[in-house]
Each structure stands twice: as structure tokens, then as C-alpha cells.
Amino acid sequence: MHFSAITVLSLTALSVAAPITKRQSILGSTTYDAISISGGTAGNAQKEALAVFSSLDTANPENISAEDQDILNEVNQVANDAEKEAFNPAIAAATGEEADALQRGKIKNKVLKLQATVLKLQAQQAQGDASVAAKLEEEQTKLQNNIDQDVAEAGAASTALPFDATIGSADDEAATDDEADDEATADDEADDEATADDEADD
């Protein structure tokens, strides 16, 4: 098959002129209540969490934009705030099955929170940041721990709690604040210890 010189030059010109496509943001502004997975029943928290982020190309995390990584970070922080300010006080004030259902809702919330963090770290690693490897492994371990707890309670009622918080707003300062990241991580660790205590009590 033969191509004319004009055709070859035209194709070459098109390839040279084609702009490099910037990764586009996919996740939009939302609220905690809109993405909460804590209600319903236990057992499918991972599937429900991944459904929240289904618009992202999770199979190819190198395609996740910086803006969406910021939103994933906000999901972590807002879900963490919901644990501290909504779930923990409610669980402390409840007894019996009411407390158990709230605890299941908290575990599902933790799966959502940690899944967001894992996706963000996977994107950073896929885009060349080798420094997140240890952190990614740590967060994956915590995520799996909470997934296992959720599966162990499969079919049992799980309670969601309303929490007034916006995610992906115009003000991204909270999403990029390293101190907030560190605080959320510390709270994760404290919650993991509390969860272990809960299991011992059960």
C-alpha cells in the first residue's frame, strides 16, 4: 500500500499539533449525606464505596486528576469528622442493638473514608510519586481490616447518621492542608484501636 507524500505530511502535522490532554476532573461538588454508605445493611461496604467513585478510572489510577485527588482527600476528612462528631457520640449514648447498628454504620463509613484515601494514594503512585508506597500499604491494610469487619456482620442492620458537610467546594484549602491530613491519619489510628476494643467487648 502506498501513501502520498501529502498524506504522510498531513498525518505528521496532525500528530505534532495535537495538544497534550490535561487530566480532567470528574468528581463534582457534593455533600457527605449524598455519598454516605452507612445505612441499609452491613456486608457490602466495599462495593458501595467503590460505587461512589465509579466515575473515576480506578483501573487506571494514572488518569485520576489532581482535582479529583483533592476531592478524595476531602472525602477522607469529612468522613473522619462524621465519625468523631456524629458516630462516636451516638454510639456512646446508645445501648444494645441500637449501638450495634450504629457501630456497623461507623465501620461502613470507615470503608468509604479509607477507600477514598487508597484511591488517592494509588493515583499519586501511578503518576510517579514513589514516596507514598509505605503509606499506601498501611491504608490498604486498614481498609481490608474494616472490610472484613463489615463482611462479618453481613445482613445486619446498619445505621446512617446525617452530617452537614460539603465536599468539592470552591474553597479547596482544607483538601490541601497537610496538617489536616496528619490529623485524619491520627484519628484513623485512634479509631482502629477503638474498633479493636469494640471487638474485644463483643
How far apart, in whole angstroms, are the C-alpha atoms of residue 153 and residue 138?
24
Instruction: Convert the pLDDT of each residue in 44-66 to its tens digit.
Output: 999 999 999 999 999 999 999 99
Beta-bridge mates of residue 31: 166
Q: Are 29 and 168 in contact (CB under 8 A)?
A: yes
* Contacts of 143 by beta carbon, 8 Å cutoff, 6+ apart: 111, 114, 115, 117, 118
Longest alpha-carbon distance in the chain:
81
pLDDT, residue 27, reads 80
DSSP 43: S
DSSP 63: G
Please give the average pLDDT of every successive group of 10 residues along the chain, which has 202 residues.
Answer: 45 41 68 97 98 95 96 97 99 99 99 98 97 98 99 99 89 44 52 47 38
